Structure 1
Amino acid sequence: MIKKTIKIPLFWKIYIIVVTIVLIGFVVLWSILWTALKKYEQSRPEYAMDKITEQIQLQDTGDFTKYVHTGENAYEGSEALDEAVREYIKNVLCEGAWAYTKKSGEYTNDNPVYQLKKDGQKTDIIIYLEKRSKNEWTIADVSGLSCEGKTYEIIVPENSEVTVDGNKLGSEYVTETKDAEVLSNVAKHINMPKTTTYHIENVYKEHEIKATGPVYNSELELISSTDNVYEFGFEANGKLIEEQESRIKEITEIYGKFYI
Structure 2
Amino acid sequence: MAKLAFLGLGVMGFPMAGHLAAKGHEVTVYNRSPAKAEAWAAQHGGRAAATPAEAAEGAAFVMACVGNDDDLRSICRGESGAFAGMERGAIFVDHTTVSAQVTRELAAEADGLGLGFVDAPVSGGQAGAENGVLSIMCGGSEAHYAAAEPVMAAYARVCRRLGESGSGQIAKMMNQICIAGLVQGLAEALAFGEKAGMDGKAVVEVISQGAAGSWQMANRHGSMLDGKFDYGFAVDWMRKDLGICLRTADEVGASLPVTALVDQFYKEVQQMGGGRWDTSALIKRLTR
Instruction: Classify the TM-score, shorter chain.
Output: under 0.3
Greater percentage in helix: 2
Greater percentage in strand: 1
Q: Which has the higher contact order (CA 8 A, sep 6+)?
A: 1
Larger-Rg structure:
1
